[in-house]
């Protein structure tokens, strides 16, 4: 038996609002949708073999008692091949951008925004790192 998928599930008071934010920001497809839970995918909508994100209504009884509130804000990374377009779209939409688009020596071009529930979203395009940071990557993971 092996793990077939790992993905975050965000609890929110407004499933529709948060779902719309992530669909619009990242053009995610819907694998499953109800009024209390939505499963989004960066693939073909099947939920298999792609980046996944789920959104659940705060307080739903599938969660254990004592853990039904909205969790503390978190940081999620979304890797893309076109960070500049997403950045421009988010600026145009009025999204809360907390860190402007910039290149990092460790191998990322990225910006950080906040979703409507206060979660931090780091939108990243991998770029070649400086020589100093390139030495810290495994050969298989080195961005080119």
Question: Residue 91's closest CA among 74, 73, 75, 111?
Answer: 111
Nearest to 12 by CA among 47, 44, 40, 51: 40
The rounded distance, in Å, linking the Cα atoms of 67 and 11 is 10
- The pTM (predicted TM-score) of the whole model is 0.78
Tens of pLDDT along 89-141?
Answer: 999 999 999 999 999 998 999 999 999 988 889 999 989 999 998 888 888 88
Q: Which domains does the chain have, with CATH numbers?
A: 7-60 (3.30.720.120), 73-144 (3.30.720.110)
How far is Cα 115 from Cα 127, in angstroms, rounded to an integer?
25
Q: For residue range 22-60, list pLDDT tens digits in order.
A: 999 999 988 899 999 999 988 765 555 568 899 989 888
């Amino acid at each position: 038996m092996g793990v077939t998928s790992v993905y975050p599930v965000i609890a929110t008071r407004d499933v529709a609002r948060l779902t719309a934010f992530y669909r619009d920001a990242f053009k995610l497809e819907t694998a499953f949708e109800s009024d209390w839970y939505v499963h989004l995918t960066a693939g073909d909508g099947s939920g298999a073999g792609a980046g996944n994100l789920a959104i659940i209504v705060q307080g739903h009884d599938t969660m254990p008692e004592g853990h039904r509130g909205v969790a503390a804000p978190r940081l999620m990374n979304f890797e893309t091949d076109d960070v500049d377009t997403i950045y421009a779209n988010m600026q145009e939409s009025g999204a809360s951008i907390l860190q402007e688009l910039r290149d990092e020596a460790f191998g990322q071009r990225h910006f950080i925004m906040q979703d409507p529930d206060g979660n931090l979203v780091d939108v990243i395009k991998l770029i070649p790192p400086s020589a100093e940071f390139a030495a810290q990557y495994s050969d298989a993971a080195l961005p080119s």
